[in-house]
């Protein structure tokens, strides 16, 4: 009986390891693009780690950025995967590549996120009208000027950042100056974040440009101000808002809701095991969770690789079910990923 039991267990183990080996050989070499901002770099290394240790892929993280990576994927089918691609900002070429069937997008890389004008939630809760730009314009006194001037303060992008163009043109288009606001250049991204965090923690009025996912929005509660009905972004009004000559007569517009996706080439999809594609099509984090992770990254000075290992060990709630499939929260693949970084 013991001999039969031993042979049975050996057979099961052989089938399990044989299946894993087959997946490894099928997956082959995989290039994952590392973008130039922190959240995308972390997600690239995380996906690469999962594919390597969980599914046996021969992964390589390669340098990338939004436009060169998406263009290369559309034209050359390389790299294989972009873990955080902001597809709402891509041009017509991306839609054409999707139509040609050379690239696909899986699930949302993360929900939420994006650019906008933000106010501490406690301030909006106390003054619900501030949820819209019109409400903000009617209440400049609720946004104290850092120099004590009798004007409301609007914090734009630091000089030299591309978003300085859009924030300046939107400030003019909505008539912030006429409503009693002054445009404040914070001087740096760190100073912008510090001013927003300080106002939040004191429950003071603050309005300005910010974006997610970030440590600030992950660890503090802010409200993204609405532009109001009829002021949404269109191709025509946004063209003026992004004009670096600062025309001064743009129509009202606003930042479009972000679409942040996992993208991959169909050449990779054709050779990848089904389990790998199931993972890529279902690996979704919220911008709040990513922001919390980024806060840890900042405080601990983690590299993207170290941050990926942190997610594996400390935030298993975010990924195990995606690796194991459905409602399963434990499986051989997940155990292998954890063991590789312990």
Q: What is the pLDDT of residue 325?
A: 86
Q: What is the pLDDT of residues 51-64, one digit of tens each?
A: 999 999 999 999 99
Helix (H) or strand (E) holding 149: none
Q: What is the pLDDT of residue 277?
A: 95
pTM of the model: 0.82
Q: Are β-strands 222-224 and 114-120 bridged in parallel, bridged antiparallel, or unpaired? A: antiparallel
**pLDDT at 154 exceeding the cut of 90:** yes
Q: What is the mean pLDDT of residues 82-100?
A: 91
Q: How confident is the model at residue 82 (pLDDT cuts 50, 70, 90)?
A: very high
Which structure tokens are listed for 241? 């808002």
**pLDDT at 13 exceeding the cut of 50:** no
Which structure tokens are listed for 185? 């250049």
Instruction: Look over the chain and give the mean of its residue pLDDT values, rounded to a whole number.
Output: 90
Q: What is the pLDDT of residue 278?
A: 95
Q: How confident is the model at residue 107 (pLDDT cuts 50, 70, 90)?
A: confident
Percentage of the chain lying above the pLDDT 90 cut: 82
Domains of the chain (ranges plus CATH)?
Answer: 26-112+258-341 (3.40.190.10), 114-241 (3.40.190.100)
Q: What is the pLDDT of residue 212?
A: 92
- Report d(CA 77, CA 317) in Å as an integer: 33
Q: What is the mean pLDDT of residues 115-137?
A: 98
**pLDDT at 4 exceeding the cut of 60:** no
Q: What is the mean pLDDT of residues 222-237?
A: 94
- B/e letters for 82-112, b = 16+ CB within 10 Å, e = fewer, are bbbbbbeebeeebeebbeeebbbbbebbbeb
Q: What is the pLDDT of residues 262-288, one digit of tens each?
A: 999 999 999 999 999 999 999 999 999
CA 170, 173, 174: angle at the middle one, nearest 5? 90
Q: How confident is the model at residue 24 (pLDDT cuts 50, 70, 90)?
A: very low
Helix (H) or strand (E) holding 140: none
- Report d(CA 148, CA 271) in Å as an integer: 63
Q: What is the mean pLDDT of residues 14-42?
A: 71
Percentage of the chain lying above the pLDDT 70 cut: 92
**pLDDT at 156 exceeding the cut of 50:** yes
**pLDDT at 8 exceeding the cut of 60:** no
Q: What is the mean pLDDT of residues 196-214?
A: 96
Identify the DSSP state of 88: G
Determine which of 128-132, 136-140, 189-193 has the lowest per-residue pLDDT on average. 189-193
Identify the DSSP state of 141: G
Q: Are β-strands 110-111 and 207-212 bridged in parallel, bridged antiparallel, or unpaired? A: unpaired
């Amino acid at each position: 009986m013991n001999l039969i039991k031993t042979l049975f267990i050996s057979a099961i183990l052989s089938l399990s390891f044989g299946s894993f080996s087959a997946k490894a050989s099928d997956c082959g070499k995989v290039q994952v693009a590392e973008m130039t901002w922190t959240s995308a770099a972390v997600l690239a290394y995380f996906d690469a780690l999962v594919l390597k240790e969980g599914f046996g892929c021969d992964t390589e993280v390669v340098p990338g950025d939004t436009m060169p990576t998406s263009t290369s994927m559309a034209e050359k089918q390389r790299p294989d995967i972009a873990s955080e691609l902001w597809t709402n900002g891509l041009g017509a070429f991306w839609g054409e590549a999707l139509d040609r069937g050379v690239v696909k997008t899986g699930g949302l890389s993360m929900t939420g996120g994006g650019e906008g004008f933000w106010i501490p939630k406690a301030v909006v809760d106390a003054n619900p009208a501030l949820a819209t730009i019109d409400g903000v314009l009617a209440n400049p006194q609720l946004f104290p000027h850092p120099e004590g001037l009798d004007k409301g303060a609007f914090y734009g992008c630091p000089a030299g950042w591309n978003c300085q163009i859009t924030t300046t043109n939107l400030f003019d288009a909505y008539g912030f100056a006429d409503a009693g606001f002054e445009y404040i250049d914070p001087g740096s991204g760190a100073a912008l974040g510090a001013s927003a965090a300080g106002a939040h923690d004191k429950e003071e009025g603050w309005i300005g440009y910010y974006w997610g996912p970030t440590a600030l929005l992950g660890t503090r509660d802010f409200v993204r101000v609405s532009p109001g009905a009829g002021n949404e972004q269109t191709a025509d009004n946004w063209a003026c808002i992004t004009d670096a000559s600062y025309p001064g007569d743009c129509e009202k517009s606003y930042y479009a809701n972000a679409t942040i996706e996992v993208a991959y080439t169909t050449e990779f999809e054709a050779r990848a095991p089904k389990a790998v594609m199931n993972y890529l099509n279902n690996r979704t984090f919220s911008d709040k969770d990513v922001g919390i992770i980024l806060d840890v990254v900042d405080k601990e000075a983690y590299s993207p690789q170290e941050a990926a290992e942190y997610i594996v060990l400390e935030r298993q709630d975010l990924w195990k079910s995606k690796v194991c499939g459905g409602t399963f929260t434990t499986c051989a693949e997940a155990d292998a990923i954890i063991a590789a970084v312990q």
